[in-house]
Amino acid sequence: MIRWRSMWGCRTALAVLIVILSLFLAACAKNPVTGQEELAFMSEPQEIAMGARYYPEVIQLNNGTPPEDPQLQAYVSRVGGRLARVSHRPNVPWQFTVVDSSQVNAFALPGGKICITRGLITKMSSEDELAGVLGHEIGHVTARHAVAAYTRQVLMAGAMLGLTIALADNDYAPALLAAAGVAGGLMVLSYSRDQERQSDELGYQYMTKAGYNPLAMVNTFELFKKMQKSEPGVIEGMLSSHPLPQERISAAEQRALSSPLSARPFHTAEFNRSLALQKVRVPAYAAMDKGNALAGKKRWSQAEAQYKKAIALYPKESMFYSRLAVAQMKQKQNTQALASARKGARLSWGNFYPNLILGMVANANRDYSLAVDAHRKAAQALPDHVINNFLLAYAHDKIGPRSQAVVYYRKVQRAAPSSQYGKAAQKRLQQMGYN
């Protein structure tokens, strides 16, 4: 039986709703693309600041940038800048970065920060295809789609607060609140179909204004469809955040056929020059990817062979050594693993992943001083990474100072209390006499 709340609870819930309504009325802004007023709980300066804050960490989560290839980065920045200048928000501080991931993906952060993966750009065959993908991501920024998602989250947080109060004395409150939380997460999991369609249209506008052939966007969509069948694991991230129903492909075809630019030849000369190094390295990364797949099946010796093959093909990629170190550590080859991990960290000393692996292998070798140093370097790149912070706490726990172990155990426990690391951190804090 449901027990209704007191009148005081009703008044409190009403007050919450009034606050939400006040926010709704106060937080309207003109959309740069449509020119219409719409609800936005994030100003443009806040949007730009958010992108600037998280862009370096997003790059680190994608293994940094491909080594020894500044020409590629400069080229992608030029193409992206050419598109951004003809967009609805040319004065945003745009940045375009190729990240060192084999996944086929591209994504935009608020405020004009855009990444495209090595895995995607090496699948392309022309600058026009690159322009189509970058134009689409620029469209997400110019239409402020991330801001719209944030606004939905704020509204849901307010609704959840009101719902919490309204259900405070309800026997069914826990189940209802859990359901609302799951629904809210699903609502903001990815861009809506309308937003994807709008970004396609905007990408088309920007690439044609910059003189690119819009048929390239159709080619890219067809590439994604083929990969969905042949390499589903490589493209699943792209398709989960950018669903590709047939209607998007058909709309792109119709737009392309209506444009006189579809008769133009694709831009390939500068594209091929700029991608030359990455194209040469494709077999090396393919060997690493095979090794990763084998590692996922715990076939460590076979994975080790693939990583060594990758190193033989291109010996200056830190990821190859770091992943080799993991495979060797899993086979109890701790001395060899430490040597491999050291090499990976030396090749990419400022990046997160090789320092995380070096710290893990150092902990396994009981070299806790080296572990502290490596995990601290990793934390400089990604300060809030739960696993790295737990391992840093563990290493400090072994050699001191214990006060630093407490700091990082607490950080882990606060960040992820229900995870295995959060629970382990809480247990150790209790053993050390801290609540």
Kindly report, residue by residue over 384-404, the tens digit of the pLDDT: 899 999 999 999 999 999 999
Confidence of residue 27 (pLDDT cuts 50, 70, 90): low
Total tally of structural domains belonging to the chain: 2
One DSSP character per residue, 192-252 reads -HHHHHHHHHHHHHHHHHTT--THHHHHHHHHHHHHHHH-HHHHHHHHHHS---HHHHHHH
Structure confidence at residue 112 (pLDDT) = 95
Kindly report, residue by residue over 113-135, the tens digit of the pLDDT: 999 999 999 999 999 999 999 99
Identify whether residues 82 and 31 lie together within a single domain. Answer: yes
In a domain, 399, yes or no: yes
Identify whether residues 86 and 38 lie together within a single domain. Answer: yes
Structure confidence at residue 139 (pLDDT) = 97
Mean pLDDT, to the nearest integer, of 206-210? 98
Structure confidence at residue 246 (pLDDT) = 85
Structure confidence at residue 5 (pLDDT) = 40
Q: Which of 89-103, 163-177, 188-202, 331-345 has the lowest mean pLDDT?
A: 163-177
Confidence of residue 178 (pLDDT cuts 50, 70, 90): very low
Of all residues in the chain, what percent are helix, strand and coil, respectively (each to 5)?
70, 5, 25
Evaluate if residue 185 carries a pLDDT over 70.
no
- CATH number of the domain at 413, please: 1.25.40.10
Identify whether residues 260 and 288 lie together within a single domain. Answer: no
Domain that holds residue 154: 1-274
Instruction: Tell me which of 274, 309, 325 is where a domain ends.
Output: 274
Evaluate if residue 429 carries a pLDDT over 90.
yes
**CA-to-CA separations, 256 to 84, 243, 351, 381, in angstroms, rounded:** 20, 20, 41, 42
Structure confidence at residue 358 (pLDDT) = 98
Identify whether residues 195 and 294 lie together within a single domain. Answer: no
Evaluate if residue 167 carries a pLDDT over 80.
no
Question: What is the bridge-based pairing of β-strands 95-99 and 113-117?
Answer: parallel
**CA-to-CA separations, 145 to 43, 76, 188, in angstroms, rounded:** 13, 23, 11
In a domain, 364, yes or no: yes
Nearest to 214 by CA among 201, 226, 224, 227: 201
Residue 105 phi/psi, 5° resolution? Answer: -165, 160
Structure confidence at residue 16 (pLDDT) = 47
Instruction: Tell me which of 274, 307, 323 is where a domain ends.
Output: 274
d(CA 44, CA 42): 7
Confidence of residue 2 (pLDDT cuts 50, 70, 90): very low
Confidence of residue 244 (pLDDT cuts 50, 70, 90): confident
In a domain, 86, yes or no: yes
Answer with the residue of higher pLDDT: 36 or 334: 334
Confidence of residue 225 (pLDDT cuts 50, 70, 90): confident
Identify whether residues 266 and 290 lie together within a single domain. Answer: no
Cβ neighbour number for residue 71 with a 10 Å cutoff? 14
Q: What is the pTM of this model?
A: 0.84
Identify whether residues 258 and 290 lie together within a single domain. Answer: no
Identify whether residues 143 and 253 lie together within a single domain. Answer: yes
Question: Which amino acid appears at position 392 of this protein?
Answer: L
In a domain, 279, yes or no: no
Mean pLDDT, to the nearest integer, of 12-29? 51
Question: What is the bridge-based pairing of β-strands 28-30 and 37-39?
Answer: antiparallel
Mean pLDDT, to the nearest integer, of 364-389? 96
